[in-house]
Amino acid sequence: MSENTKRVNMKKFIIMLSALLAIVVTVLSSSYIIFNELENQLQQNLEDVANQNSLALQNKINANYLLLQGLSENMHGVTPDTIDETLQSFSIFLEAYDLKRFAYCFSDGTSHSTDGGVANLSYREFFVRGMEGKSTISGVLSDALEESHSLVNVMTIPIYDKNGNVEGVFGLTYQSQVFNDALQIDCFDGQGYSCAINSDGQIMVAMGNDILQLSENIFSDVLSQDSRNEASIHKLQKQMEEHTSDGGKLYLSEETYYYCTPVSLMDGDITWYVLTLIPVNVLESRVSPVQNSLYLMAFVVAVFIFIGVALVIMLSRDQKNMMLRYAYEDALTKGANFARFRINMKKRRSRPGYMVSMDITNFNNINIAAGKAAGDLMICDIWQILTEELNEEELAAHVQEDVFIMFLNLEEKASFLERLNRISTRINRRAKDLQIKGIHSRYGIYEMQGTEELEDAYSKAQIAREQSKAQKEQYYVFYNEMDHEKLQQDQLLEERFEESLAEGEFEVWYQPKYSVSTGKVVGSEALVRWRDKDGSLISPGRFIPLFEQNGMIAKLDEYMFRCVCRQQAEWLSKGHTIYPVSINLSRASLYYSDIVEKYLAILQEVGIDPGYIQLEITESAMEGTSDIRGLLERFRSTGIRILMDDFGTGYSSLATLNMRCFDTLKLDKSLIDHIGDQNGETLLYYVISMGQHLGLHITAEGVETDKQFHFLKENHCDDIQGFLFAKPMPAASFEEMLAP
């Protein structure tokens, strides 16, 4: 072999080796990029789950603490002779709050409980801390008041006598396992788990995994089992000292990601730390298919290097894009998969639209009658139809089998349904070409306001899709939607809204509020009525829910606010004695950050004192609304009083009260209707007592009988509203009551 030939072969070898190394580097770097991207996504999801766990724990503990504070007003001056009767009156709260018992310890340590148990608990730390004037939540204890000695946690607060000295300790007990189950939040397909620890590392709540037991200490019993955890222990302890949130890795039975966040409980007296964990192999299981594909591809490319250097260079140049397609491309349609859909949806946060879940009824008939190849071809045809029907910035993905997901722009329902009908027609026509009957598309639709999480919105769309299967003549169902006839009626109301608003067809009616002590008018609530062109009234129950759903309610809120302000100013100019009027403010209005400035501008334009205007906000209107407390405080700072409407209908009423951003509590009619029932009256008594203890004005709605009125008067309710005194009336009728 000549020297020149050797040099040429050496060059070829160097070129091929360089190309091979370049491919290996490309494969490894791409794998590293994808792994990091998935790892960052997993850690972000871990942080989100940790925050959800923290919020659930905080709401649960603070609701119990608020209940304990409210009931403590009845514990002053109790004696061994009266304690059992007092405690038994609290029994109605046990089932509602998943509690085991209430108990009271006298200063000598003698404890009496709602289940009749009597024991000396002076040796318990919670008793000692209580007598020192400190509220506390215990760690997991063996129940001293029952023979089985089940595991429990105890929350206590001190009870003071009139001289300010601690005379006893009042507390509640919940079974540790029941409390844990109530806080279970499924995450990462059940592979994630969480616990709550105190500053000493003691595990107070364990959720979802046997590695973390209630009897263990996270530092001494769990993390110290592996020397690699030493740095993590120091990091966690420092994080607890500084009350900050952070994440990292731990070594338990397997390598694990964690995220730890502090939770302030019981008015800041106690701080726990929620630790949420997910095994690293969850990420590895997601990455392995991609890595295996990369390795196989690298091997194939390496073989082709020996066939031609040019081909190897070309393949290496496109390699990274191919690997990304493996992660985010559907294998059958070659379009977006659900992972790509999720990423694209994150870029559209705070944007309203329709989340649509679609599947094909009786799709298996295609596979059975025509074969799997025909079924796969049908899926590809459907994907082509969807991509052709999508507008700019709309999204779609093939989820699995015959299930697809779409995010479509928000538009008028008539136009939206016309699009769905066009898609369905094309899909049904393709099924008929196969000469297979019973094949048609169905849709579940959830209208997103732009603030919901993807998983929540998609879940609701799936529920609606399942409901659509019960429909014979309608191929779609909106989440919590009306029937077809009602939908048409709603469309007509929507079309008439702007015209009716401009022509003043919406009227303000007033329902007076009366002082319980004097029986005189002290205010009123403004209610909307829609007078049709024929003079009849359209029920608010027909149009209010509709306008809340489509967002028109915000315009109606502003219209009502402006009308009430003008009416108050007119009555004042006539020399009438006017009273504060409360106006309902819907959830949709709270989404506008400039609502405070807009409403203040109306007050200034009309020239009415803010003290004559009040705003009513239901508890449900605050769910999912950001910075609601700050918004309400801005209203209050202007002199406008805020009323919590329909109190008693929400599942987290006590937690909402703890926000302390209301002036008046309006008791819902459902509570008032229980007057006459012993348990209902007991509950109502404590609600009124608790509200007034928090400095709130109490108004009762829906009062219709003398018996209800006398009960509310005996229990010091401030004022009432209901048919017993007056029904809602037009402005002219209410003006007659104001005239001197």
| CATH code at position 215 | 3.30.450.20
* C-alpha separations of 663 from 169, 515, 617, 637, 657 in Å: 31, 16, 11, 12, 10
Distance in angstroms (rounded) separating the CA atoms of residues 467 and 45: 30
Q: What is the structure's pLDDT at 655?
A: 61
- CA neighbor of 250 nearest in space, from 296, 287, 293, 209: 209
Q: What is the structure's pLDDT at 323?
A: 67
In a domain, 98, yes or no: no
Backbone angles phi, psi at 467, to 5 degrees: -65, -30
- Spatial strand order of the sheet with 193-197 comes to 203-207, 193-197, 270-279, 255-265, 246-251
In a domain, 347, yes or no: yes
In a domain, 476, yes or no: yes
Higher pLDDT, 9 or 444: 444
Distance in angstroms (rounded) separating the CA atoms of residues 355 and 602: 37
Residue 361 structural domain:
338-481
pLDDT at 58 over 90: no
Q: What is the structure's pLDDT at 625?
A: 47
Do 157 and 171 touch, CB atoms closer than 8 A? yes
pLDDT tens-digit profile of 162-218? 888 999 999 999 887 777 776 666 666 677 778 888 888 888 877 765 566 555 777
Of the ranges 47-51, 524-528, 640-644, which one carries the lowest mean pLDDT score?
47-51
Three-state secondary structure of 499-520: HHHHCCCEEEEEEEEEECCCCC
The two structure tokens encoding residue 67: 């209940």
- CATH number for the domain spanning 499: value is 3.20.20.450
Quick one: 541 and 576 in the same domain? Answer: yes
Place of tokens 């928090």: 694
Q: What is the mean pLDDT of residues 285-292?
A: 66
In a domain, 21, yes or no: no
pLDDT interval class at 510 (50, 70, 90): very high
* pLDDT above 70 coverage of the chain, percent: 83
Strands 506-515 and 719-721, how do they pair? antiparallel
In a domain, 116, yes or no: no
pLDDT at 290 over 70: no
Place of tokens 């109306």: 602
Domain count of the chain?
A: 3
Quick one: 525 and 413 in the same domain? Answer: no
CA dihedral 33, 35, 36, 38 (to 10 degrees): 120
pLDDT interval class at 627 (50, 70, 90): low
In a domain, 711, yes or no: yes
Q: What is the mean pLDDT of residues 47-66?
A: 83
Quick one: 456 and 545 in the same domain? Answer: no
Place of tokens 């699995």: 400
Quick one: 460 and 496 in the same domain? Answer: no
**Non-local CB neighbours of 720 within 8 Å, separated by 6+ positions:** 513, 514, 516, 699, 700, 701, 703, 709, 712
Distance in angstroms (rounded) separating the CA atoms of residues 61 and 456: 25
Q: What is the DSSP letter of 737?
A: H
Q: What is the structure's pLDDT at 219?
A: 80
- CATH number for the domain spanning 370: value is 3.30.70.270
Place of tokens 């996504």: 41
Q: Give the residue from 454, 481, 508 where a domain finishes.
A: 481
Quick one: 466 and 500 in the same domain? Answer: no
In a domain, 557, yes or no: yes
Q: What is the structure's pLDDT at 298?
A: 63
Quick one: 727 and 586 in the same domain? Answer: yes
* Residue 247 three-state SS: strand
Q: Give the residue from 441, 458, 481 where a domain finishes.
A: 481
Mean pLDDT of the chain: 83
In a domain, 413, yes or no: yes
Q: What is the structure's pLDDT at 629?
A: 80
Quick one: 549 and 450 in the same domain? Answer: no
Quick one: 568 and 716 in the same domain? Answer: yes
Higher pLDDT, 265 or 370: 265
Of the ranges 16-30, 170-184, 350-364, which one carries the lowest mean pLDDT score?
16-30
Quick one: 406 and 511 in the same domain? Answer: no
The two structure tokens encoding residue 244: 């900050």
Q: What is the structure's pLDDT at 346?
A: 84
- CA neighbor of 586 nearest in space, from 617, 632, 558: 617
Quick one: 558 and 696 in the same domain? Answer: yes
pLDDT at 326 over 80: no
Q: What is the structure's pLDDT at 568?
A: 94
Quick one: 579 and 561 in the same domain? Answer: yes
pLDDT tens-digit profile of 395-424? 999 998 899 999 998 888 888 889 999 999
Q: Give the residue from 248, 282, 316 where a domain finishes.
A: 282
pLDDT interval class at 309 (50, 70, 90): low
Q: What is the structure's pLDDT at 512?
A: 96
Quick one: 603 and 524 in the same domain? Answer: yes
